[in-house]
């Protein structure tokens, strides 16, 4: 969220209150989705869409395997 602050709204839409959470720096998207019972695929897609709309030249998926992410919740 610090790298792409426009994604904060996505986390809030998914009822993930990661902003200010002391554990958020240690969670991947997969961890956050699992802990909060949301679809990782849906969360990731919403974040990627938000980043792509805000920063059209940013590649959001290339080089990242399942469960890994450049986005930290």
The total number of structural domains that make up the chain? 1
Say what the pLDDT of residue 57 is. Answer: 63
Residue 72: strand pairing partners: 28
Using an 8 Å Cβ cutoff, are 51 and 4 in contact? yes
pTM as predicted: 0.69
- For residue 72 the two structure tokens come to 């930290």
Residue 22: give the domain boundaries. Answer: 1-73
pLDDT value of residue 64: 45
- Residue 14: the pLDDT is 94
5-36 residue pLDDT tens: 899 999 999 999 888 888 888 889 899 999 99
Task: Please write the tens of the pLDDT for every residue from 31-63.
Answer: 999 999 999 999 999 999 999 888 766 555 544
């Amino acid at each position: 969220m610090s790298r792409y602050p426009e994604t904060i709204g996505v986390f809030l839409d998914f009822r993930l209150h990661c902003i200010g959470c002391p554990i958020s720096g240690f969670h991947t998207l997969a961890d956050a989705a699992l802990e909060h019972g949301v679809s990782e695929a849906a969360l990731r897609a919403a974040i990627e869409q938000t980043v792509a709309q805000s920063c059209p030249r940013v590649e959001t998926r290339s080089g990242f395997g399942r469960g890994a992410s450049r986005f930290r919740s």
